[in-house]
Structures are given as structure tokens and as C-alpha cells.
Chain A
Amino acid sequence: DAGITQSPRHKVTETGTPVTLRCHQTENHRYMYWYRQDPGHGLRLIHYSYGVKDTDKGEVSDGYSVSRSKTEDFLLTLESATSSQTSVYFCAISGGRGGDEQFFGPGTRLTVL
């Protein structure tokens, strides 16, 4: 497996609290992505990054923000968590241009009560 770690792996939090999920890679890949996975919806892109400090929105970005200050780290922040953000979050990386394979991290299971 590619060198991708996510932390924490599991988190339970309460509505209204801020939450930050971290994705760390050791592959020096240019592109990093955050997805959420929910039953019946497959993988939906939240935000992605195409370089340090270069990020863009995906299809379900409302309520989420991201930051990438270093090549190896991509942070996903829920400013004020809601129950609808209960999900499994996956980070992914890829090294090339459009269509290159993506390597996924192990995922973070987030529960918002």
C-alpha cells in the first residue's frame, strides 16, 4: 500500500464542535483528495489539492474547509460539525495528471451526535 495515513481513525463528537481530520503521505504525490462515503452514495469528493496551498472544491464541499501547507499533509476541517456529516472519510493521493490512479488511506469513521 502507498504511504498514506489518516488520523484519527475513529472519532465521536457532538454537534457544533469543530473537527479536523489529517491526511499524511510519504509518496511526495502532487494531488490529494478528501472523499466521504455514505451508503447509497458511493464516494463523493469534498475538496482536493493540486499543490501546496492550491485547493479547490468538490461536489459536496459545503460545511468543509481544507488546508495544505506542506506537500505531505492535507487537513480537512468541519468548522461546526452536524449530524449529516457523520460518515467515513477517505483521503486519496495521485501523482500525475487527469485520470491517474488514486491511492486511498485507511479512512476515518466520524460520528456526530
Chain B
Amino acid sequence: GQQVMQIPQYQHVQEGEDFTTYCNSSTTLSNIQWYKQRPGGHPVFLIQLVKSGEVKKQKRLTFQFGEAKKNSSLHITATQTTDVGTYFCAGPGGATNKLIFGTGTLLAVQP
């Protein structure tokens, strides 16, 4: 079945360093979504990318959708302690209104 993989599973950075997480789908996606989950919290929607090669920015966060629409990345510039959490990508799961979530990347930021 359809799979969405993320790497790395875990990343520990010093505050101020950059961070990138990568998402790869086994199938072509019509769109991709990104979510953030703070420790002890629930996932919160960040953004949706729809177009091939699309790049969107939210302050220090840059999201990219691959040309083949099978991969995506999230890059955080100059991490802050508030960036701590798990970042998930998610793509539509078949013909129905479902999302297949990636396994997530846990980001730890040391002050």
C-alpha cells in the first residue's frame, strides 16, 4: 500500500542551527500537508503544497514540494527552542478523504 516515509526520525541541534526534514511518498501526491506536534500536544496543521516544485515560506520555515510530487521538505533556518516538536508530512490516501501520515521527525533544540 501507499507509504510516506520521513527522515531523519530524530534530530538534535543547537539553537541557531538550521534543520531539514525530508518526506518521501511511494506514490505521486496531489498535495502534501505538514503538521507540527509539540511535546504532549496534538498535531497542528502548518501548510499545504499543491503545485509541482512549489515553495512556500512561513517566517523561518521553508516548505518545498518536489517536481515529481513524490517528495517534500521542511527547512527551518536558525532554530529556536520554540521549534521543538515532531514534524509530520501527510499526503492524500487514495480516492477517499484520508491522509497518510509520515512517521515524523522529532526535533530537539538545545539552548
Contacts and interface: CB of A to CB of B under 8 A. Distances in A.
Nearest to B40: A107
A94 to B, nearest CB: 7
B102 A42 contact: yes
A40 B93 CA distance: 20
B4 to A, nearest CB: 9
Nearest to A56: B96
A48 B99 CA distance: 11
A63 B96 CA distance: 22
B97 A98 contact: yes
B48 interface: yes
What range describes how many residues of B lie at the interface? 20 to 34
B22 interface: no
Contacts of A104: 42-44
A101 B97 contact: no
Given A42-B102, A48-B98, A58-B98, A98 B43 contact: no
Interface of B: 1, 9, 30-31, 33, 41-45, 48, 88, 90, 92-93, 95-104
Interface of A: 31, 33, 35, 40-45, 48, 50, 56, 58-59, 90, 92, 94, 96-107
Given A43-B43, A44-B101, A102-B33, 18 more contacts: A42-B88, A42-B101, A42-B102, A45-B98, A45-B99, A45-B100, A48-B97, A94-B97, A97-B97, A98-B92, A98-B95, A99-B31, A99-B97, A99-B99, A101-B33, A103-B45, A104-B43, A106-B41
